[in-house]
Structure 1
Amino acid sequence: MIALAVPAFGALVAEPLFVLVDSAIVGHLGTPQLAGLGVAAALLTTAVSIFIFLAYATTAVVARRVGAGDLSAAIRQGMDGIWLALLLGAAVIVLTLPAAPSLVELFGASDTAAPYATTYLRISSLGIPAMLVVMAATGVLRGLQDTRTPLYVAIAGFAANAVLNVGLVYGADLGIAGSAWGTVIAQWGMAAAYLVVVIRGARRHGASLRPDAAGIRASAHAGVPLLVRTLSLRAVLMIATAVAARLGDTDIAAHQIILALWSLMAFALDAIAIAGQAIIGRYLGADDPEGAREACRRMVQWGIASGVALGVLIVLARPLFIPLFTSDQSVKDTLLPALLVVALSQPVAGVVFVLDGVLMGAGDGRYLAGAMLVTLAVFTPVALLVPTLGGGLTALWWAMTLMMTVRMLTLWLRARSGRWVVTGATR
């Protein structure tokens, strides 16, 4: 578990650094350019995160085949996911290029920032197929119980992105367009590195590299429930941000700080979930239901322990990191009690992330989709009542804790039922 989870955490943390590097470099061009980057980056992040199922679903199906001892079929199914990623990426480009100005306007970019946002969005959309290929190929390697290669590729991609951005923005004097082109080149470089690894594995084990219509349809079908789950989770985060915005500038500023910290902690817990996807899929593929159940129990223990550790870390380190985000005393005063709520909820989050990974590894996507829809239905009215009932940002994060608790209960009931334990090379 540790051997899979630690490199996975490193790769997860490396991904958001792309936007941070772009922001740091573009920020010196001027405020309108940075504002344009912010709008375009939000659109790109949303578009790509919708397709995270390419990694999750691929991990599960490949791990099952690995457990069954059929590496050729494992890689073949992984290639189906990669072909699906290319098709989806091409479709996104076709939609984004002509719609870029309208999308930028929809997100409320100012007249001065809109041209920069449109330029960045149009150029960066050319890298979306590469980003989706990276997702699918990462799922293949995770299913093959390899999380080290994604870490190395992520580090190399981050370094290349930084060098290319500096060279093209300032050396070639391309401005924000140079930042977009640098990121696109780095993304396609990462995709190429993954494809080299996967193609070598395919040739070694005699797996076909040609697109298979039936296999691509199967990959898409397996991804639909996870897409519903992801959209529901994104809706929760968007509703929470919208409610925080209604509470006032101080509350939304504090909310953004907490949300950034919450996301960072989610990366740590998600690393255990990724290990769970790979390990559970392998056990079930090997017709070892007891091994899968024991792995589930062990990972839940790890999740709780990690959540407790993160919660304690938040409480102890708050005097150190809060000043890094803001010097406004009113924001600090608003942030602190809500942050303590987040700290208390981390053990619950640990269980949620682990069981989410276990059920993904088992290919139990339909249940995950239904459970997330139930969670959204419970959370939405509670969150929307916060401005009316009072309690401010702290009440909103209690609503977020309720959301995580509902998720934990729905996932725990499924895990306890044993219905997720379906053995065999395919589900």
Structure 2
Amino acid sequence: MSHPTAPPATSRATLRRIAGLALPALVVLAAEPVYVLVDTAVVGHLGRVPLAALAVGGTVLTLIAWLGTVMAYGTTGRAARRYGAGDRAAAVAEGVQASWLAFTVGVAVALGMQVVAGPLARTLAGGGTEVADAAAQWMRIAALGAPGLLLAAAGNGWMRGVQETRRPVVYVLAANVLSAMLCPVLVYPVGLGLPGSAIANVVAQSLGGLLFARALLVERAALRPDPSVIRRQLAVSRDLLMRGAAFQICFLSATGVAARFGAASVAAHQIAVQLFFFTALALDAVAIAAQSLVGAALGGGDADGARWLARRIALLGVACGLVFAVLIAVGSGVVPGWFSPDPAVRDQAMLAWPWFVAMQPLAGVVFALDGVLIGAGDVRYLRNLTLVATLGGFLPAIWAAYALDLGLGGIWAGLVLMVVIRLVGLLLRTRSGRWAVVGAVR
């Protein structure tokens, strides 16, 4: 495959333009994980059981948030192609229909969690009644924020597609700053304990959803649901949903295995996995820029420009991953103590830490190229690759860690294996060039 210089049509999409999309996306993506890290630190000082309960309940909330991310990605790709073809109104219309879909799914999740929270918590907690009961109570409350959470995800999706960067940052920061201030107040002075954390989640997510719904009103777009467009969005999202489901099965299983190694192990896993989600979403800021710019380039008929962008974005992913690896390695003796005063929890966290550091440069490339292929609409390939990496790599590895009593280190070795499998598959696909199909909608 040749490596041409940037063609005239994409010479404007320089590193400055990529950064102009990636940096605001970083703020938006990092806001929720930062809040969760604050939440983890606040709850961690309540004791080992509340932190373990948050680990169980937080894993389920992360599943809901990941569902929103999947929906946002599908919306970004379709909106970006329409925007690149010169039809901004059609791109916003994609956001309207995505918002209807998000709200409907969010209400279903909020209602369903009232029924399944107890059995789900007992399953994930490995039979520990005290942890399971606390986790179930937290999940029932936190799930009430699902409609707002998914509405905000849909709003982020269409705004990224039309390369709108300012309003999403304002909306997300407003909601999460308020909630981060509310969480410690509700947990300690008000005396609600662990449920106070869940209430703060609901406040942030509901406010965020309302702000993004208002953005559609400002656009003066037609707000009537269009079942035909929603069906097409569902068809596009199907592969992304399957991909997201595979990830979530694996992460839920990882929490279940960690719980079976004891409360200290699952508490340490909560610290490490939330830091992983933070770095993953921060690296994903580069992927967001890829989705928007690659989608717009292909929508405008510029396949050479899209391939040029793919190479530049992959290099940026490597650089970001290396920076995270250094920071995480330097902080190994300090960071776990921010989240728990328990020496057993900190010792368990150290078992995951070397694997956490090693995966960062690899993950930087993986997330960047994920964004390229999502922007191109090449989601079927991503689905198949993810199924191989998760169900054929990560899932067997973590249950082998349980069977062989490898502890938390074995779980995180399985996560690195998944990243390596995805990296190989993404490099092969990107090099082939078969993903660069032009047109307003793929």
In 1, are the aligned partners of 2:79 and 2:94 still within 8 Å (CA)?
yes
**1:87 alignment partner, one of 104, 110, 114:** 104
TM-aligned CA deviation for residue 126 of structure 1: 2.9
Partner of 1:57: 74
Letter matched to residue 208 of structure 2? M
- Residue type of the partner of 1:194? F
**Deviation per residue, 1:382-423 (Å, 9 max, x gap):** 443345667655454343322211101111111112121111
The residue type paired with residue 298 of structure 2 is L
Alignment of 1:20-419 (within 5 A): 20=37, 39-108=56-125, 117-164=135-182, 180-201=198-219, 203=220, 207-244=221-258, 255-324=269-338, 336=350, 338-376=352-390, 377-386=392-401, 393-419=408-434
- Secondary structure of 1:16's partner? helix
The one-letter amino acid paired with 2:33 is P
Q: 1:276–1:299: 8 Å Cα contact kept in structure 2?
A: yes
Q: Which moved more, 1:19-28 or 1:369-378?
A: 19-28
Contact 1:383 1:399 in 2 (8 A): yes
**Contact 1:59–1:361 (Cα < 8 Å) also in 2:** yes
Residue 381 of structure 1: how far off its partner (Å)? 3.3
Counterpart of 1:220 in structure 2: which amino acid? L
Provide the aligned C-alpha RMSD in A.
3.4
Conserved? CA contact 1:161–1:183, under 8 Å? yes
Is 1:11 the counterpart of 2:28? The answer is yes
CA shift digits 1:342-372 (9 cap, x unpaired): 3233221111111111111111111111111
The DSSP-based 3-state class of the residue aligned with 2:23 is: helix
- Return the offset for 1:304: 1.3
1:423 aligns with 2:441: no
**1:231-258 deviations in Å (ceiling 9; x for gaps):** 1122333444445555667765654444
Please report how far the alpha carbon of residue 130 of structure 1 lies from its aligned counterpart in structure 2 after TM superposition.
1.1
Alpha-carbon displacement from aligned partner over 1:37-63 (angstroms, at most 9, x marks no partner): 655444333234234211110111111
- More deviation in 293-302 or 320-329? 320-329
Deviation at 1:311, TM superposition (A): 1.9
Q: Which residue identity is paired with 2:96?
A: M
Q: How far apart in 2 are the matches of 1:121 and 1:209?
A: 32
Match of 1:353, SS state, is helix
Q: Is the partner of 2:164 in helix, strand or coil?
A: coil
The residue identity in structure 2 corresponding to 1:348 is: L
Q: Secondary structure at the match of 1:91?
A: helix
Q: Distance in 2 between matches of 1:79 and 1:375?
A: 34
Letter in 2 for 1:136: A
Whether the 8 Å CA contact 2:246–2:387 is kept in 1: the answer is yes
Aligned identity (percent) is 40
Given residue 146 of structure 2, which amino acid in structure 1 is its aligned partner?
A: I
Q: How many pairs are equivalent?
A: 423
How far is the alpha carbon of 1:13 from its aligned partner?
Answer: 1.8
Structure 1 position 338, deviation (Å): 4.8
Structure 1 residue runs without a partner (length 5+): none
Decide whether aligned partners of structure 1 residues 236 and 169 sit closer, same or farther in structure 2, where only a CA change above 3 A counts.
Answer: closer
> Offset of 1:340 from its aligned partner?
2.9
Normalising by structure 1, report the TM-score: 0.85
Question: What amino acid sits opposite 1:92 in the alignment?
Answer: V
| Paired amino acid for 1:286 | G
The structural deviation recorded for 1:14 is 1.2
The residue type equivalent to 1:189 in the other structure is: L
